[in-house]
Amino acid sequence: MSSNLERQANAEPVSAAPSHVPNHVAFIMDGNGRWASSRGLPRTEGHRQGLEALRKIIRHAALRGVGIVTIYSFSTENWSRPEPEVRFLMGLLRRFVQRDLSELHRENIRIRIIGERDNLDAGILKLLLDAEELTRNNTGMELVVAFNYGARQELTAAVKKLCEKVARGEIEPSAISESHISAELDTVGLPDPDLIVRTSGELRLSNFLLWQAAYTEFYFSDLMWPDFDEAALDQALECFGNRDRRYGGVTAQAL
């Protein structure tokens, strides 16, 4: 299904630099399986090619001046996929960290992991923690990896933490504000995403950053994730740069 948004973006040539590069871009990397199936390949090959696309996008985003990239790498719902596919994805994660971590570190990229860590495989958890620790003091672009992440679970956990604080007498229920909720989320300390990009023509958030996306701009691409390249990212950034972000208000020109 083709979105009006992308048709409008395709109608205009992409300039060398968008008028406004978003500070925080989040990606829902969708379509790996369908990319493979359409070529008569196993779904695992789609995930493999999706990882190659991710490598390109991370580095191109850094070159374009994006400050934070968040990737929806593995959701809490993804555990319901066939066991061989889940096992392959875990192996792909290991290979990504083992192959790319030292290079990302050299490029001054800081890695942060968000998502539920309880009950994770000990080896996977150590891999994630080691990546965070190695790059903790880097000052370049921040790569936020949403792994075993679900926004409803994140919000539920935040509510529980606030209830516990109320029970201990640390805060009055009437005093709870948006900032208190934000402080209990996995993304505490991070600015909300300016732009969420979803590939494969799907037009939904799929339990991703529900609280944080209140005023986020969206860009939906019909490309499957393995085909989403540097030019496609440039087009998304160009489209964002042409948006008028009003945050519920009006611009002076509209008065």
Q: Which of 23, 78, 138, 207 is catalytic?
A: 78
Domain positions in the chain: 21-150+195-241
- Per-residue pLDDT tens for 166-210? 999 999 999 999 999 999 999 999 999 999 999 999 999 999 999
Three-class SS state of 114: strand
Give the CATH number of domain 21-150+195-241: 3.40.1180.10
Which residue's structure tokens are 């996995």?
186
Q: Residue 7 pLDDT > 50, yes or no? A: no
- Which positions ≥6 away from 24 have C-beta within 8 Å? 66, 67, 68, 69, 70, 190, 191, 192, 193, 194, 195
Read off the pLDDT of residues 225-238 as tens digits, 9 standing for 90 and up.
Answer: 999 999 999 999 99
Active site residue 138: no
Rg over CA atoms, the chain: 19
Scan for tokens 């936020």, then name that residue: 144
Q: Give the span between the Cα atoms of 92 and 144, in whole angstroms.
A: 17
pTM for this one? 0.88
Concerning whether 207 is annotated as a catalytic residue, the answer is no
206 is an annotated ligand-binding site residue: yes
Residue pLDDT, tens place only, 107-152: 999 999 999 998 888 999 999 999 999 999 999 999 999 999 999 9
Residue 64 annotated as binding site = no
20 annotated as ligand-binding: no
Catalytic residue among 30, 100, 186, 194: 30
Which of 54, 105, 31 lies closest to 233 in space, CA to CA?
54
Among 128, 180, 186, residue whose Cα is nearest residue 157? 186
DSSP state of 224: -
